[in-house]
């Protein structure tokens, strides 16, 4: 059987995830394996249609697909996310239709299920027969038991693919909707509050719904609002997973991201994230911004601040995305005020929802109360706590931060 491995790791041959798929290839020599690397070559694929077409041709010639990537910020790396966008933008979906697919990911078991759920949904939307994926902890990769389990998983995947056993959708296709937001004229609220609300958005045009939602929020807000397009931030690429930032908290890229983060993000009093849904998540540009924040390691630098969301797209049909928005706030120890989407019946309804978000955000910032964390936040904190402690010799800045803020709340510490 012909298998194509789609490597989403930006680390290429140094990727731990790639070692797993290489192990599969060695253990199953009866199958022919090909590999494409959007994780490393995504910028070339964007600029050079021939490079993208060659990757699609490899998929077309295969009978089964293995999506392989490390989990970055609850999902696939932005490079692989962008590859998925290109598949739809360039009409390449037919190459994937009818193929069997699965996912191999690595992580610290921190929200790897949301990454797996995302890729399952993507695969099913492409008309693929998806087989449950495999997601070991990066700490278990050296264990022989893990490799035996990996071999068992691969054998099962090849059996189902080879015999064309029926697979059943776990996700519903997200139906689009045709609603163009034309906000009515609204009065500008007086900016009486202190501080600054930073609104980050991925709109490419002022005519997009999300751009108009941002504009209306700015009118209703009681504090100064700074709206920044993610396309105006100097980001040369997505997180490379190189680990350069672990010891000193400095990114390997020489661009404007760190300066923007420190000058604009860290000094903001509250945040609003405004994004458009593209294939079950926000845009790859948004994902790039989130991935690049890893130069701060696992330190919740904006903890205690309030956050809201303005989302354009079928969020109600995508519970996995909804969960990642909630997780992003809770694990960042921020207070999620509300999520507003343009899934509305009228311009007046959406305008009212945005007004209510602005007023609720103002009250929360003024009164200073916070919702208690749910399992999404508490569980995530414990995973990070144990990982940072285990890797404290490498994660030097994380370790200092966790000690200073009392995050090492192990079971032997009284609550």
Contact 137, 165 (CB under 8 A): no
Q: Which of 119, 137, 162 is the last residue of a domain?
A: 162
Task: For helices 375-390 and 319-331, give the axis angle rounded to 10 degrees.
Answer: 60
Boundaries of domain holding 29: 2-162
| Residue 124 confidence (pLDDT) | 97
Give the CA angle between residues 108, 280, 227 to the nearest 5°. 90
**Is 134 in the same domain as 234?**
no
pLDDT at position 382 is: 96
Do residues 260 and 312 share a domain? Answer: yes
Characterize 134-166 residue by residue with b for buried, 16 or more Cβ atoms within 10 angstroms of its Cβ, and e for exposed: bbbbbeebeeeebbeebeebbeebbebbeeeee
Percentage of residues in the chain having pLDDT higher than 70: 99
Q: Tell me, yes or no, whether 119 lies in a domain.
A: yes
182 falls within a domain: no
3-state SS of 236-250 is CCCCCCCCCHHHHCC
CATH of the domain at 116: 3.40.50.360
Q: Look at residue 243 in the predicted model and tell me its pLDDT.
A: 87
348 shares a domain with 213: yes
Tens digits of per-residue pLDDT, 333-379?
Answer: 999 999 999 999 899 999 999 999 999 999 999 999 999 999 999 99
Taking a C-beta distance cutoff of 8 angstroms, is the pair 111, 380 a contact? yes
The values of phi and psi at residue 177, to 5°, are -140, 150
pLDDT for position 415: 43
Say if residue 380 is in the same domain as residue 347. no
More confidently predicted of 139 and 275: 275
Q: Can you give the pLDDT at residue 258?
A: 95
Task: For residue 187, tell me if it sits in a domain.
Answer: no
40 confidence band (pLDDT: 50, 70, 90): very high
287 plus 334 within the same structural domain: yes
Q: What is the pLDDT of residue 141?
A: 83
Q: What is the pLDDT confidence band of residue 174, given thresholds at 50, 70 and 90?
A: confident
Helices 209-220 and 347-367, packing angle to 10 deg: 50
**pLDDT tens digits along 229-276:** 999 999 999 999 998 888 778 899 999 999 999 999 999 999 999 999
Q: What's the pLDDT at 414?
A: 52
pLDDT of the residue at 412 = 63
Which residue, of 114, 144, 162, is where some domain finishes? 162
Domain boundary among 162, 186, 212: 162
What is the overall mean pLDDT for the chain?
95
Q: Note the pLDDT of residue 413.
A: 52
380 and 358, same structural domain? no
How large is the C-alpha radius of gyration of the chain?
22
Question: Quick check: is 399 in a domain?
Answer: yes
Q: Are 99 and 60 in contact (CB under 8 A)?
A: no
Residue 414 inside a domain? The answer is: no
Looking at the domain assignment, is residue 331 inside a domain? yes
- Asked whether residue 205 falls in the same domain as residue 74, the answer is no
Q: Are residues 211 and 143 in the same domain?
A: no
Q: Which two tokens stand for residue 358?
A: 């602005």
Q: Check whether residue 277 and residue 300 sit in a common domain.
A: yes
Considering the domain architecture, whether residues 359 and 385 belong to the same structural domain is answered as no
* Same-domain status, 138 and 56: yes
177 in any annotated domain: no
Give the number of domains in the chain. Answer: 3
Residues 230, 209 share a domain: yes
Question: pLDDT, tens digit, for every residue of 64-112?
Answer: 999 999 999 999 999 999 999 999 999 999 999 999 999 999 999 999 9
In 373-383, which positions are buried (b, 16+ CB within 10 angstroms) versus exposed (e)? Answer: beebbebbbeb
Q: Which of 124, 112, 87 is CA-nearest to residue 6?
A: 87
Within a domain: 409: no
Residue 288: is its pLDDT beyond 90? yes
């Amino acid at each position: 059987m012909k298998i194509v491995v789609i490597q989403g790791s930006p680390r290429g041959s140094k990727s731990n995830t790639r070692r797993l798929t290489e192990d599969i290839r060695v253990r199953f020599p009866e199958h022919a394996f090909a590999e494409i690397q959007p994780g490393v070559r995504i910028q070339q694929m964007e600029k050079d249609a021939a490079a993208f077409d060659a990757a699609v041709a490899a998929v077309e010639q295969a009978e089964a697909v293995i999506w392989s990537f490390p989990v970055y910020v609850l999902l696939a790396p932005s490079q692989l996310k962008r590859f998925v966008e290109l598949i739809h933008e360039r009409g390449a979906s037919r190459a994937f239709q009818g193929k069997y697919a699965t996912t191999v990911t690595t992580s610290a078991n921190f929200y790897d299920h949301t990454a797996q759920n995302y890729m399952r949904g993507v695969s099913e939307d492409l008309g693929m027969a998806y087989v449950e994926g495999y997601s070991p902890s990066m700490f278990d990769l050296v264990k022989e038991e893990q490799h035996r389990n990996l071999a068992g998983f691969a054998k099962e995947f090849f059996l189902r693919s080879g015999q064309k056993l029926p697979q059943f959708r776990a996700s519903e296709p997200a139906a689009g909707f045709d609603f163009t937001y034309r906000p009515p004229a609204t009065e500008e609220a007086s900016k009486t509050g202190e501080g600054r609300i930073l609104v980050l958005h991925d709109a490419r045009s002022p005519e997009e719904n999300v751009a108009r939602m941002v504009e209306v929020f700015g009118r209703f807000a009681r504090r100064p609002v700074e709206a920044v397009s993610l396309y105006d931030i100097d980001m040369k690429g997505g997180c490379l997973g190189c680990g350069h930032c672990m010891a000193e908290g400095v990114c390997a890229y020489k661009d404007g991201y760190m300066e923007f983060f420190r000058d604009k993000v860290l000094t903001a009093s509250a945040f609003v994230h405004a994004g458009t849904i593209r294939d079950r998540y926000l845009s790859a540009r948004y994902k790039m911004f989130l991935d690049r924040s890893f130069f701060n390691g696992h330190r919740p630098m904006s903890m205690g601040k309030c956050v809201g969301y303005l989302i354009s797209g079928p969020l109600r049909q995508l519970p996995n995305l909804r969960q990642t928005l909630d997780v992003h706030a809770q694990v960042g120890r921020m207070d999620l005020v509300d999520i507003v989407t343009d899934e509305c019946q009228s311009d007046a309804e959406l305008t009212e929802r945005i007004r209510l978000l602005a007023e609720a955000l103002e009250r929360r910032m003024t009164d200073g109360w916070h919702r208690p964390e749910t399992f999404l936040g508490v569980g995530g904190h414990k995973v990070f706590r144990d990982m940072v402690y285990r890797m404290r010799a490498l994660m030097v800045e994380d370790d200092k931060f966790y000690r200073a803020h009392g995050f090492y709340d192990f079971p032997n510490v009284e609550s």
